[in-house]
Amino acid sequence: MKRRVWRFAFFALAILVGVTAGLGYGWGVNPVRYASTRPELLRIDYQADFVLMAAELYRAESDLALALARLDYLGEQSTLVLLEATLSFAQKHRFAPADQALIQSLAEDIHRALDGLQ
């Protein structure tokens, strides 16, 4: 009887070791690799650069709806939150003043437009 208990204990231990090894391999050594990720998962610096591109295009086109549509590319998050985060990132990482001014201008125009809607 005691032997059976020991055998069961060792079996359970072996399963535990196997699960640990499987998790280590599946999460650490060879995790699932996504062939295509979504834009909202981009690192903040890439998101900031995309916002800058939208701002550069907005300066030339003066089309706020188009600018908002472009910013929608970066996901469901609020556009104002996105712009604030981008501005903060741009200031912290010392973007060129002209680039910061572009983002600022776009943010102000969007703010103004949203205020006008309310």
**Which residues contribute to the site for another protein (CB under 8 A)?**
7, 10-27, 31-32, 34-39, 41-44, 46, 49-50, 53-54, 56-57, 60, 70, 73
- What's the CA gap between 105 and 82, in Å, rounded? 14
Q: How far is the CB of 9 from another protein (least distance, A)?
A: 11
Q: What is the DSSP string of 61-84?
A: H--HHHHHHHHHTT-SS-HHHHHH
| Residue number, 36 or 118, with CB nearest to another protein | 36
Q: How far apart are CA 107 and CA 83, in angstroms?
A: 6
- Give the nearer residue to another protein in terms of CB position, either 35 or 117: 35
